[in-house]
A and B are shown apart, each in its own frame.
Chain A
Amino acid sequence: MMSSANKTIYQSKLFVPTASSRPETTPDFSHLKIPSPLASKRPQVLVDAADVTDLAYGLVRVLDDDHQAKGAWQPDLSPDKLRVGLRHMMHVRAYDRRMFNMQRQGKLSFYMKCTGEEAIAVAQGMALEDGDMLFPSYRQQGLLFVRKRPVVDMMCHCISNAKDNIKGRQMPVFYSWKEGNFFSLSGNLATQYSQAVGWAMASAYKGEKHIAVSWVGDGTTAAADVYHALVFASTYKAPVILNVVNNQWAISTPQTFANTGTTFAARSIGFSIVGIRVDGNDFLAVYAATQWAAERARKGGGATFIELYTYRTEGHSTSDNPDSYRGKNEAAYWPLGDPIERLKQHLICIDQWSEEQHLAQEKELKAAILADWKEAISHGSFAEGPHWPVETMFDDVFKDMPAHLRKQRDQVGA
């Protein structure tokens, strides 16, 4: 198959996965089976993993095509709570929009949106308790909104200014927020996943009730740490929720290079861990599955592995242009819709929301974000500062600064 000067020409038999679409093809998701909300059973939380393997191959849904809540997984969520969820999701989207634009204007070095995936972090965050420890990846900014991290503080981190709680040390979006039990993000994919299991083991060891929750993307499931998380979580029945956000893409690489021909949720079967595949764009389903898993963990049932089936509507990051590797507008073909739109329609459908309220809230949030941004840059911009004093670069390498670092610090001229 490949041309070559004067050497053997190989007839390759190697299987290589293909993509859902490429720029030269038209996206087509018609092969996806989208079951009705009535199709999934909701087992008791202390069920044996071996008895519910169907959950790993199904798709837990609550909102049906007419925006009604249906089926066994309907969570007990008041309209008020639903409105809070909607608001958080809209808040996240407004935040992402502004930060992305600010990056385009050179105010941030980098940014990553979670557009189309807002239901995941928001609904999951709301289904958890404050004392539960979050070990997120970089598309769960929604958790911070749920836990009421001041938006200004998030922005100050993203522009590494003098009010950045992590002192200008990390790229934008690599948040850390101890007070909110939100673990410091790593650039190295997946490393937090097995750490979360250790945190959960410690919680069990101390006899406490708090659980750990972690997230990786579809592409990241291939990493060794994901395996470690599954092996250790299962071996010690750690109270942990391990989430896979399957947004179909890992930069330019389709999820087919990680799903090994089956669902991600199925990966947990061989570890006696319950795997649940959930419509990640269905706020109610995400909430319900998370609540179920959290209860299971708190009751000593151990880990749950949740695949959140969703779609990365935009580019990987500000460094990325998805049109160069996937079908134009693939997002528009995605059959599970948009999470904000779906919850909005549900609320309208049950007479708890209106287009007008929605528009007003959108406007309000946009204005709030703008005000937050203005306040944030009043504490310093990335380019101009003020930043933390330069010599603080040498702090926190160790608890107490050893002599060789003091010497280096002095050379920076502090």
Chain B
Amino acid sequence: MPKVIVDTNRCKGCALCVRACPKKLMALSTVFNAKGYNPAECIDESKCIGCALCGRACPDVAIEVYK
């Protein structure tokens, strides 16, 4: 199972990863990080194909993808 790790402190909740995921697996969480943003998370890694499009879409390079 691929793994999608979001650096929640780096994330600014812009949702570009959400837009990018072909499987619609990325979503913004409801918690706030230190800077007041809602960081993104992968809601179902089991469906993840490890394509890393979420990572590539992230302006803050806050996502690591393992496969």
Please indicate whether A and B come from the same complex rather than being unrelated chains.
Answer: no
Residues of chain A whose beta carbon lies under 8 Å from any beta carbon of chain B: none
Residues of chain B whose beta carbon lies under 8 Å from any beta carbon of chain A: none
